[in-house]
Chain A
């Protein structure tokens, strides 16, 4: 015979849980504690409240002198046999009796006792409904939050916990890509607490020219500026350099406000407010006593100082005669971009002129051209060629050399000394003749400015020196040294569209550079719609960088050490 007791326990909040107990004994005691086989902790039960016993196939219930009593089907009993369907009540439990296949089952309900008695103070009781007593105090929660914030965001970064990552919470933004490998090393730049980033930390790795010399001498507030005044870090992909024009126009809109004329590197420099009102460009013209800046609209002084003759009009004309018939020359035929497309290669005689302007000097020496070089070289080359020519005469009898007759057999020969002197003289005469032709009548004379040496100069240089001096052409290669112009970026535009008047230019003295108006066709200040936005730095540079000296260079391995994934001994 088995006895099973199933209890459904209903809690104060309405939830319930069911437990089941199986007994194989013939009698069990139920109560609050003591010797009870099944006990519940409730004031409503006596220590040993009731005994349930099995005899044969009958189930008996007995009251063990409990205080609350035992009721079967509502009646108080002392001892009674139970039948299927009966209800037993004692303590705080009510059972229904059932019997199925040799198992007596008592299924019952208990309800959670209110643990408050009416004696408990009412206001204490009601605190259990008040959030201010149920939740942890606001003060405690606040303290917890503050401790959390201070620990995580102040202590840890200050002490660099976890190593090198801790301080990242203080970073005000991602650093520029070039500085990424030192991103976590705040002190690489912020070397002194409570002081702005100083130049010395930048110069620990970088090498810079001084800022414009004038700036250093000026009274401008910028004269004491740090690198960090124009280079802003922690801006991620925006990059580190500020390109806004007002950085420049801050001084350049009224230069005399910040520097006296005496201190200015270029005293005639004009003020600039913005690109729209950018003054006409000025070119730098070098002369023996230095250089001058001449504005493109200063027609009187705007002269190309090159000592060379070039007539663009002739070279660009239709039907120009070349070595093999007519040719049509274009700008590209002589003006070539350097491989880095930044500037033009200087005009080279060999590459650009020699195909039409040859330097042959004697019909008797076809294909022999003097080298395009110094007058001394030219003279000595001609001399050497003529010498060779005379020495070769036995091989080339068709060449007629004056004064060198064949002698009849039996005639008296001249003395070799005289012969040598004779040949020497002839060569000298030929060479001098060629020299004169070249330098005064054709070839060199066509393009170069040539002067004849004075007798003092000639005697000083020696009798085998040249008689002429070629003035150094000094063809300017950079007209505007303070501005960069990327020709490659402007390839879609025809050269003559900006370089106006080239086709009509007959004099080398013409300066054929474009003025600011041609730029303004496409370029204007930032914010002007329909125009290429052009900050000052698009064409001008504030300072150039210098090549990093050896002592500032590091091993590659050191850069790996900077990164997160490697450890460093000093943490």
Chain B
């Protein structure tokens, strides 16, 4: 892959920096044996805590940077690479800070929030890497608005043809072969890209039952229905892709603010009851 992603930015520069940091901090941790065992209140404990807090604040800053039009040093992609790799390294830095002590309290709760934030971020990054190519793949036909309009238009056409026909034959065809459609995220996801193509055999059987005078309209109907299904399938794929590329943010961002609050409480309470 020649293309530089937000992970591999600058030959994985930020990955190496994070790895190096982790290694150095771990080695220091192993050789430091403070009185009473490792905990957040030793020299290393305080230092790592400060580092982790700075890390969290830097990571939160990405959200601001992303929306800012101000000229900033470095590209956004580089900033994202730093965000991702520093974020992952925090998974280990915080337990090193606490001496791997955990309990049912706000201090561990802050870490739990952080873990969920980081894992959701990893999930999001994974989704981005795997799903982004798919977006480009589907949009060959047009934007989502165009596809939806086309589907709705086809639905109306189908209804018109059926309404104009004599007898129920067309009605039956429509009932059996058409797929009901409404513009809703929920139903799109529920269909889960499973809008299958027309069953050709069934279509043939139904067509053969139609009387001569209606058979033109019958084949037209089938063609319309077939096209509609294909468009629905395309739309569903697009909708789902965009959904999975965004849904993780609903965990990642709110919980990161929760994390910020929890870290604030952690620092306050540790010194309030020193």
Contacts and interface: CB of A to CB of B under 8 A. Distances in A.
Interface string A244-258: 101100000000000
Given A13-B184, A172-B103, A194 B148 contact: no
Interface string B164-180: 01111001000100011
Interface stretch (A18-26, A163-171, A324-332, A346-354): A163-171
A135 interface: yes
Contacts of A126: 144-145, 148, 183
Interface string B236-271: 000100110011011001110110111011001111
Contacts of A171: 103, 105
Interface in B1-51: 35-37, 40
Tell me which of B40, B182, B260 has the highest count of chain A C-beta atoms within 10 A of its own C-beta: B182
Interface stretch (A142-150, A271-279, A392-400): A142-150
B274 interface: yes
A125 B262 contact: no
Contacts of B168: 73-74, 87, 89, 94
A268 interface: no
A169 B106 contact: yes
Contacts of B171: 89, 94
Interface stretch (B65-73, B120-128, B149-157, B221-229): B149-157
B105 A172 contact: yes
A74 B37 contact: no
Interface of A is mostly: mixed
Given A73-B167, A114-B182, A129-B183, A235 B243 contact: no
A190 B274 contact: yes
A173 B103 contact: yes
A130 B183 CA distance: 10
A128 B185 CA distance: 6
A70 to B, nearest CB: 13
Contacts of B152: 114, 116, 118
A136 to B, nearest CB: 9
Contacts, number: 170
A134 interface: yes
B149 A194 contact: no
A323 interface: no
A128 B103 CA distance: 43
A13 B194 CA distance: 13
Interface string B189-206: 011000000000000000
A193 B272 contact: yes
A74 B166 contact: yes
Interface string B108-120: 0100010000000
Contact of A145 (B183, B188, B254, B274): B254
A12 B149 CA distance: 16
Interface in A75-94: 75, 87, 89, 94
A173 B148 contact: no
A94 B167 CA distance: 12
A247 B261 CA distance: 37
Interface residues of A, number: 64
A539 interface: no
A131 B167 contact: no
B130 interface: no
A111 interface: yes
Nearest to B181: A12
Contact of B269 (A11, A131, A157): A157
A13 B187 contact: yes
B258 A135 contact: no
Given A153-B106, A154-B268, A170-B105, A12 B184 contact: yes
Contact of B258 (A128, A145, A242): A145
A138 interface: yes
A327 B208 CA distance: 127
A449 interface: no
Contact of A246 (B35, B107, B270, B272): B35
Nearest to A169: B106
Nearest to B153: A118
Contact of A123 (B40, B145, B255): B145
A148 B258 contact: yes
A10 interface: yes
B247 to A, nearest CB: 6
Nearest to B256: A142
Contact of B37 (A75, A153, A235): A235
B220 interface: no
A494 interface: no
A230 B149 CA distance: 75
A138 B247 CA distance: 10
B23 to A, nearest CB: 25
A129 B184 contact: yes
Contacts of A138: 249-250, 253-254
Contacts of B188: 129
Nearest to A148: B258
B185 A131 contact: yes
A230 B34 CA distance: 12
A242 B35 contact: yes
A122 interface: yes
A130 B185 contact: yes
A441 interface: no
A44 to B, nearest CB: 10
A194 B272 contact: yes
B145 A174 contact: no
Nearest to A155: B265
A68 to B, nearest CB: 9
Interface string B83-120: 00000000000000000010111110100010000000
B139 to A, nearest CB: 14
Contacts of B273: 170, 186, 190, 193
Given A12-B184, A146-B261, A194-B274, A141 B250 contact: yes
Contacts of A75: 166
Contact of A11 (B180, B262, B265): B180
A109 to B, nearest CB: 7
B195 to A, nearest CB: 10
Nearest to A232: B36
B105 A118 contact: no
Contacts of A116: 152, 182-183
Given A12-B182, A13-B182, A246-B35, A129 B246 contact: no
B180 A13 contact: yes
A114 B155 contact: yes
Nearest to A141: B254
Given A11-B180, A173-B101, A242-B35, A195 B274 contact: yes
Contacts of A150: 261, 265
Nearest to B236: A129
B239 A170 contact: no
Given A129-B183, A149-B258, A74 B145 contact: no
26 contacts: A13-B180, A13-B184, A13-B191, A74-B166, A114-B181, A116-B182, A118-B156, A128-B184, A129-B239, A131-B242, A131-B247, A141-B254, A142-B253, A146-B261, A148-B258, A149-B113, A149-B261, A169-B105, A170-B106, A170-B272, A172-B101, A172-B103, A190-B274, A195-B274, A242-B35, A244-B35
Pairs A-B, 5 closest by C-beta atoms: A12-B182, A13-B187, A74-B167, A190-B273, A145-B258
